[in-house]
Amino acid sequence: MNKRKINSNKKTKPVYTSDINVIASIPDFNLINDVISAFAHGKGEAYINKEIFKQNIYGIRTLKSRERFLSAIKKVFIKFKTEEHQKVFYALFTQNNFVNLKRVALYFQFAFNDQLFYELNTKVYMKLYKAGRLTVPKDEFTAYIYDLRDKKTDIQNWSNSTIDIIASKYLTLLKKLGFLKGRFRKEFCALDLDDPTIVYMVYLLKSLGNINPDIMKNPYLDILPYSNDNLYRRIKKISLVDYFKIYTLGYDLKVNLKYKFEEIINVIIQNYRSKV
């Protein structure tokens, strides 16, 4: 398995980029899955450049665009907080199935590695969701980025048109990942989290190495458009007891994993063959 970038710094200054534009512009998201799968199988960049990009199996017209897509994919998806994070993420992408689960994993992985994507999720998208809004207007996101530009020196040179494109591409990205629907007017999708997705999500979040053992206090749960009460009850279900042990105190939900991070996908496959 290739050793990719593992971020061991406890404190890093947030860096805002326009990678949302690049990733959302990829015409076929199977390209992302194929690149991650190649890394997961230890094939490396030489294989990816030769077999995926130079042969241009996805019909991307210019070499410059292909190189730009590959660079953004590596920055956003091939970067890890811990070795366990890399193991559990790569384990999923060695499989050919799990289409919906991979979309959820990509959504989380983007938020782990891209500060702007994380903030748009928590500060705008989830606020609209919690307020009971049915539609997701682009203006809410452009307004947030305008305000951010006034505060952050690294994006002060972004033009209004750049910000408008980022907001639009953000909504396109969420639609491609299955979190929004609609062509002209974007609306929230009802997120269907089956048991395999819940199990994998718990392992993925635990792999980040957060000190707090209470899974419900993981900050990345704040980007999930799903009721915390429902998630709390789902994790406690008897049907999930084979995957981890839980300890509750009030609303706290402490989770001890039973399997290694690289094993959990194979365990899920064995137990949920009809669902994957």
Please say whether the beta carbons of 63 and 55 come within 8 A.
Answer: no
For residue 1, pLDDT beyond 90:
no
- The distance in angstroms from the start CA to the end CA of the chain is 24
pLDDT digit string, tens, across residues 190-210: 898 999 999 999 999 999 997
195-275: CATH class:
mainly alpha
**Residue spans of beta strands (DSSP E) within 123-177:** none
- Residue 260 has φ and ψ, to the nearest 5°, of -70, 155
Two tokens, residue 240: 């999930």
Letter string b/e over residues 64-96, b meaning 16 or more CB atoms within 10 A of that residue's CB: eebebbbebbbbbbbbbbbbbbbbbbbbbbebe
Provide mean pLDDT across the span 116-140. Answer: 97
Per-residue pLDDT reduced to its tens digit, 60-113: 888 888 889 999 999 999 999 999 999 999 999 999 999 999 999 999 999 999
Domain locations in the chain? 17-78, 115-188, 195-275
